[in-house]
Chains A and B, each alone.
Chain A
Amino acid sequence: MAEADRRLLVWTLASFHVAGLTVGFALPAYASGGLSDVLPEFGTVLGFLGYAYLWVLSFLATRWVLTDEVLEATLVGAVRPVILRGSAGGGLVGLATLLGPLLLLTIQDLLSGPSNPAGIALIVAIGSGIATVVGVAFGLVFTLLDLTAVRIAGLVVPDGDGPNPMATEAAVGSATEQTESAESTPDSEPVGEGE
């Protein structure tokens, strides 16, 4: 897919993930009556900053997940590369969502010499594990939603507008090789791991 279209997809998916997450939380939270109590305490500026921080994390993770190779493989039907990478990206977002604010809250204490370094290290270690697992779960859910949208879009886009670059022999060949490679070695590393 052309670079311009890949950039549009990255922009779209990153924005969708944060907006979807926010609406997905707001709806049940309001229905249960909890949102009306929490929001006034949270504050407008803090809410805006939190949303912007999540959006930046989502953008960076989506750009990392959606390489040209992964995108082309996805468009010709391979799901494994994008699911592995999308879940890993979600884990990184979850980790950064915890560590960023935690660093801000503890920076003064850290600079002046932490009063309880073992306690802080324990909190960071346990919290990081939980945040990563939660992030992986959300990353998986959103990757599946993205894949569903790609499938539906493939059905609704009209045919007959000319050749599709994703269907050219080179693209299909490259993606098929990647798919076969990934599926024939179940224990292989996720695409892009170690970058």
Chain B
Amino acid sequence: MAETLHVAVRTLHVLGMVVLLGGAGTVWYVARRDGRGGGSDTASSLATGYEWAFWGALGVMVVTGVGNLGALGAPGPETRWGTILLVKLALVAVFVLGSLVRTVAIARIDAEEGRPGPASVPFYRRAYGATTAALLVLVVLAEVLAHG
């Protein structure tokens, strides 16, 4: 029973990252494509949908991440593993704060009357490019923690 629960928690953790990273990469790609065509409709609607999914998935990531720590019986902070985990947690904290700014910015763009104009496309590219890059770093750190 406990083993099944831990597998379910780890599965949710991985699926949460699929949503976060896959979604950010998709919005970034579409914003790049839209930029070349001069429009922004698809990127805008994708970005808004992604922000809803992002905060739901982030909650799942945080609670399953802490659950994993408890289930694994994590080594102490003085070990190499512990140092990497501390770096990862610090990055997560910065990432969460940065994501708050990104979502508020998207909400402000959405609040503008009419559809968002082409001026928003570079912002989408930068914001979701940075989000994708940060998430890739976190995935690499997670792999190091899981497999050494």
Interface residues of A (CB under 8 A from B): 1-2, 4-5, 8-9, 11-13, 15-16, 18-20, 22-24, 26-27, 30-33, 35-36, 39-40, 42-45, 47-48, 51, 55, 75, 145-146, 149-150, 152-154, 156-166
Contacts and interface: CB of A to CB of B under 8 A. Distances in A.
B34 interface: no
Given A19-B59, A19-B62, A165 B113 contact: yes
Nearest to B78: A33
Interface stretch (B23-31, B47-55, B131-139, B140-148): B47-55
B48 A35 contact: no
A164 B62 CA distance: 35
B101 A153 contact: yes
Interface in B93-133: 93, 96-97, 99-114, 116-117, 119-120, 122-123
Interface residues of B, number: 54
Contact of A47 (B63, B92, B107, B111): B63
15 contacts: A1-B107, A2-B110, A8-B51, A12-B100, A12-B103, A22-B62, A23-B96, A35-B74, A39-B69, A40-B70, A75-B108, A149-B100, A153-B108, A161-B120, A165-B113
